[in-house]
Amino acid sequence: MLDLLQTIIVTVLTLAILVAVHEFGHFWVARRCGVKVLRFSVGFGKPLLSWSDKSGTEYVVAGIPLGGYVKMLDEREGEVPEELLDQAFNRASPPRRIAIAAAGPFANFALAIVVYWCIFLNGVNGVAPVIGSVELGSLADRAGLQAGAEITAVDGVETPTWESLQMQLLERIGESGDLTMTVKPAGSSLVTTKTLRLDGWMQEVADPNPLRELGIQLYVPKVLPKIQNVMPDSAAQKAGLQAGDLVLSVDGVEMPDWDSWVNIVRASPEQPLSVVVDRDGRQLPLTLTPARTLDDSGVAIGFVGVGVEPPSWPEEMERKVAYGPIAALVAAADKTWKMSAFTLESIKKMITGMLSPKNLSGPITIAKVASSSAQYGFFAWMSFLGLLSISLAVLNLLPIPILDGGHIIYASIEWVIGKPVTEQIQLWANQLGLALVVCVMVFALYNDVLRL
């Protein structure tokens, strides 16, 4: 129940920020272009909170937090007093209407830059992409990649961290041709280039994992069954387990890693276990009886209430980069540009069939990712917020009627030919655009349900 409540709160907060920034962009530019704004609404439906300013603009927070809008004075939507005709949106010049329509997406781009600037200013930590194992017979194996080697570049672009490696590989989804990896073998300062041949790579794969598809498992340090914290009144506390204990064995079976410990606990609800732990160099025998709980499938499992002590990475694999204010701003703008290009390229690949449409995500996936990113910390959530802001900006700039990009197209045509697109053509185009957007949303929601 608490997880659901957290998911709802984080999702509403995330969407509210994105929508408020987007609509503020329209609002701010509209006012400076001399267009009267009647209503600024975050959310749809019945207003929960509303107030007005001295200019007559009504500000609304509505009950359905799945969007928002800025309502401007417009002769096409109702009668306009003669003294206010010069403030009507439809009377504004084409360049001004283009600026107003583009302001929402560009406000989202600006939000992404600010978010990434804060992240880079805080400093960026990463881990070197060192190969832990290579699957026999895989693309990586056939190319001669070996465990212990560090992947330093992909297609000539440096990949100092896991994240940079994943991004470079994701850009090749659906493509055919040679993928080159520059690697530095373990214990060597020399680099070599390996070539992997792609053929419609992951074209039909939903939720693609590039490294897994290549047959590469990156190195992660072994997670020992060492306890970091014990929940109050839990089975672990009642048995005498303490933070810092290293679990050596259970019922005489050695526990080489955390997964082994978790598996035996989950398989033993309400069954007493003989546990031996190492505490400050001394071996202590304990009797632990896991509590009974249910997993997501309704199956009874054991639960003891302890947390794992995270493993430490080898110092030579850690990548830490600190930025000053100016360098952070440059890096933030660069990342926003690259993520925008990546989003556009992904849309193109979906349209041309190079990327499976099963990768399209809807509100359920957004809610789950927003909640999980928040659990990893404030900056993880901010990173997701920046990515969503870029996606919202790019999608709204697509030349689809009813979206901001459609309004830009209408105004651009009028600017070029000297007369507006007829209302009948706009009506037909808007209906077609609405049908397209609804179909995409329904399909994205269908994908979300399948992922559940």
Concatenated DSSP letters for 84-142? GGGG-GGGS-HHHHHHHHHHHHHHHHHHHHHHHHHHHHH-EEEE--BEEEE-TTSHHHH
Q: Are 275 and 283 in contact (CB under 8 A)?
A: no
Strand partners, 192: 183
158 bridge partner residues = 153
Cβ atoms 142, 134 nearer than 8 A: no
Long-range contacts of 174-180 (CB under 8 A, 24+ apart): 174/200, 174/201, 174/202, 174/203, 174/349, 174/353, 174/354, 174/355, 175/200, 175/201, 175/354, 176/200, 176/201, 179/154, 179/155, 180/154, 180/155, 180/156
Could you list the beta-strand ranges (E) of 312-423. Answer: 318-321
| Spatial distance between the Cα atoms of 254 and 261, rounded to a whole number of angstroms | 9
The CA distances from residue 303 to 232, 237, 269, 440, in Å, are: 13, 12, 7, 42
**Distance (Å, rounded) from C-alpha 396 to C-alpha 221?**
43
C-alpha of 203 from chain center: 21
Interatomic CA distance for residues 36 and 23, integer angstroms: 14
Strands (E), 119-263: 124-127, 131-134, 150-154, 157-158, 177-184, 192-198, 216-218, 227-230, 246-250, 253-254
Structural Rg of the chain based on CA atoms: 28
For residue 399 the two structure tokens come to 């030349």
Task: Indicate which residues carry an active-site annotation.
Answer: 23
Residues 409 and 396: beta-carbon distance below 8 Å? no
CA neighbours closer than 13 Å in the CB half-sphere of residue 376: 12
Buried b (16+ CB within 10 A) or exposed e, 77-113: eeebeeeeeebbbebbebebbbbbbbbbbbbbbbbbb
Whole-angstrom CA distances from 233 to 33, 46, 263, 270, 272 are 63, 45, 22, 16, 17
